[in-house]
């Protein structure tokens, strides 16, 4: 029996993880569930899966959940705060941690799991984007097992030589090919893209995801973050990571070898496939995903990404090449920009504009510690927030020069 902690259980990945776990009650037991403020969904999950702990990051939400669970005579203990998120990741009784908290908030709990030597199912992009070198070092020193859950990196993991995941040349790998759906605006003109609304951007053609990652897919920043992830996961140089737009989202990614072979992992666009692979690795279990019907696919198309219409992808490559704290700045500015776009405080083009301004504003520093990254993250967020406020009042750049 495998005890599992799920970070971000009320989100899309968290709910899909619970769906897979529910199919295999003889194999998996939920140790802890965590969320930010979604009390109603967490209540239902606690009553269904009966975890030992439920951690709400927000203390008010924790008090509400405690009251609701008491009325149901639940034995689940409710905790709150980042320290308790770390605790339910590092507890000796925990075997696996699904790291699915969106954004920078997932960094410290994932680090705690790495240092404690857990099996980490990493669905949180920002952990590697913000702190790739420190996190990979913690995984190695803690003796943790790191399994990527992003569909693209999970696909690469599946078709990569198992004993050469960190030495591409020794494994005969020429390059990694990340596939991208292209998002909802793939065929739109520049003018149409600039007029995009949050409602338009949230209509992903293939995947069902949370709001933030769906907007990232629309800007292609999601793919840019995945490029940075692939660098750390597979020790790949930026020039060894290629992005190819594949609108059908059937091929989830590919690995090209020096002998001319290209190995790909295919499947329906459903995150339960990589989740099930991560939970059962190195074995395979039923995920609930339908079989791929090749006869109904009709065709598989590929095209180059357009970094003029979607500059976020190039900005991510630029940050990766710059190294140091550049990726942390990129990620922080993007999170603030996406939130502002969803609130209609800036336009769609404002997302990439803000990220570019933030990358140009800050000097890149060598990464020294998690505390250093948290400080850089906070400064970048402050700058981005002032940029948005100034943009709204049409007084940019005067108001942000002091950041």
* Radius of gyration of the chain from its Cα atoms, rounded to whole angstroms: 21
Reply yes or no on whether the pLDDT at 245 is more than 90.
Answer: yes
**For residue 75, what pLDDT is reported?**
94
- Measure the CA–CA gap between 121 and 130, rounded to whole angstroms: 17
Q: What is the dihedral of CA 338, 344, 350, 351, to 10 degrees?
A: 10
Reply yes or no on whether the pLDDT at 396 is more than 50.
Answer: no
Tell me the per-residue pLDDT of 140-160, one tens digit each, with 9 for 90 and over. 999 999 999 999 999 999 998
**For residue 140, what pLDDT is reported?**
95
Q: Which residues pair with 263 in a beta bridge?
A: 255
**For residue 164, what pLDDT is reported?**
59
Token duo for residue 175: 């390059």
- Measure the CA–CA gap between 82 and 299, rounded to whole angstroms: 47
Domains of the chain: 2-149 (3.40.50.720), 156-297 (no CATH), 323-400 (1.10.1740.10)
**For residue 105, what pLDDT is reported?**
80
Closest C-alpha to 271, from 2, 18, 66: 18
- Measure the CA–CA gap between 263 and 172, rounded to whole angstroms: 12
**For residue 163, what pLDDT is reported?**
66
Token duo for residue 74: 């639940």
- Measure the CA–CA gap between 279 and 13, rounded to whole angstroms: 13
Please give the share of the chain, as a percent, with pLDDT higher than 90. Answer: 79
**For residue 202, what pLDDT is reported?**
85
**For residue 315, what pLDDT is reported?**
98
Reply yes or no on whether the pLDDT at 394 is more than 70.
Answer: no
Reply yes or no on whether the pLDDT at 397 is more than 70.
Answer: no
**For residue 402, what pLDDT is reported?**
42
Length of the chain, please?
A: 403
Tell me the per-residue pLDDT of 116-141, one tens digit each, with 9 for 90 and over. 999 999 998 888 998 999 999 999 99
The residues, ordered by sequence, that sit 6+ positions from 144 with a Cβ below 8 Å of its Cβ are: 113, 114, 115, 116, 117, 118, 119, 120, 138
Q: In terms of pLDDT, which residue wins out, 75 or 394?
A: 75
Closest C-alpha to 85, from 128, 19, 33: 33
- Measure the CA–CA gap between 149 and 36, rounded to whole angstroms: 21
**For residue 168, what pLDDT is reported?**
83
- Measure the CA–CA gap between 264 and 179, rounded to whole angstroms: 10
pLDDT band at 199 (very low <50, low <70, confident <90, very high): confident
DSSP structure string for 123-181 = --HHHHHHHHHHHHHHHHHHT-EEEE-SHHHHHHHHHS-TT-TT-TTTTTEEEEEEEE-
- Is the N-terminal amide bond of 282 cis, ω within 30° of 0? yes
Average pLDDT over residues 57-70: 95
Cβ burial 149-180 (10 Å sphere, 16+ → b, else e)? bbbbbbbbbbbbeeeebeebeebebbbbbbbb
pLDDT band at 204 (very low <50, low <70, confident <90, very high): confident
Please give the share of the chain, as a percent, with pLDDT higher than 70. Answer: 95
Reply yes or no on whether the pLDDT at 178 is more than 70.
Answer: yes
Closest C-alpha to 275, from 96, 103, 111, 86: 96
Average pLDDT over residues 327-355: 95
Reply yes or no on whether the pLDDT at 403 is more than 60.
Answer: no
- Measure the CA–CA gap between 127 and 139, rounded to whole angstroms: 12
Reply yes or no on whether the pLDDT at 210 is more than 90.
Answer: no
**For residue 234, what pLDDT is reported?**
92
Average pLDDT over residues 260-285: 95
Q: What is the mean pLDDT of the chain?
A: 91
For residue 212, the Cα-to-chain-centroid distance in whole angstroms is 10
Reply yes or no on whether the pLDDT at 401 is more than 50.
Answer: no
Average pLDDT over residues 200-214: 77
């Amino acid at each position: 029996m495998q005890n599992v902690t799920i970070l971000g259980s009320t989100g899309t990945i968290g709910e899909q993880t619970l769906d897979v776990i529910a199919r295999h009650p003889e194999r998996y037991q939920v140790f802890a569930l965590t969320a930010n403020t979604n009390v109603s969904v967490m209540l239902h999950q606690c009553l269904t899966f009966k975890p030992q702990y439920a951690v709400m990051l927000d203390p008010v939400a924790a008090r509400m959940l405690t009251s609701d669970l008491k009325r149901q005579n639940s034995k689940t203990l409710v905790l709150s705060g980042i320290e308790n998120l770390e605790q339910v990741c590092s507890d000796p009784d925990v075997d696996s941690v699904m790291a699915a908290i969106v954004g920078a908030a997932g960094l410290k709990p994932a680090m705690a799991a790495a240092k404690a030597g857990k099996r980490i199912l990493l669905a949180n992009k920002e952990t590697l984007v913000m702190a790739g070198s420190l996190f990979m070092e913690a995984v190695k020193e803690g003796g943790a097992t790191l399994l990527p859950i992003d569909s693209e990196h999970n696909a690469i993991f599946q078709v990569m030589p198992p004993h050469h995941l960190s030495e591409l040349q020794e494994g005969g790998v020429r390059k990694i090919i990340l596939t991208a759906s292209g998002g909802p605006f793939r065929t739109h003109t520049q003018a149409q893209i600039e007029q995009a609304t949050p409602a338009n951007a949230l209509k992903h053609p293939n995947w069902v995801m949370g709001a933030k990652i769906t907007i990232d897919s629309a800007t292609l920043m999601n793919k840019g973050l995945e490029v940075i992830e692939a660098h750390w996961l597979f020790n790949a140089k930026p020039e060894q990571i290629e992005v190819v737009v594949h609108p059908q989202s059937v091929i989830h990614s590919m690995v090209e070898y020096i002998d001319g072979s290209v190995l790909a992992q295919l499947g329906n666009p459903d995150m339960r496939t990589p989740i099930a692979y991560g939970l059962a690795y190195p074995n395979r279990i039923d995920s609930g995903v339908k079989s791929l019907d090749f006869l109904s696919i009709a065709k598989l198309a590929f095209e180059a990404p357009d970094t003029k219409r979607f500059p976020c992808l190039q900005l991510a490559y630029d940050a990766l090449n710059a190294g140091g704290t550049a990726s942390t700045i990129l990620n922080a500015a993007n999170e603030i920009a996406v939130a502002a776009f969803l609130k209609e405080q800036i336009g769609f083009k404002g997302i990439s504009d803000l990220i570019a301004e933030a990358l140009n504003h800050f000097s890149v520093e060598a990464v020294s510690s998690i505390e250093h990254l948290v400080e850089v993250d906070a400064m970048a967020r402050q700058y981005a927030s002032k940029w948005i406020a100034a943009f709204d009042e049409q007084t940019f750049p005067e108001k942000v020069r002091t950041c």
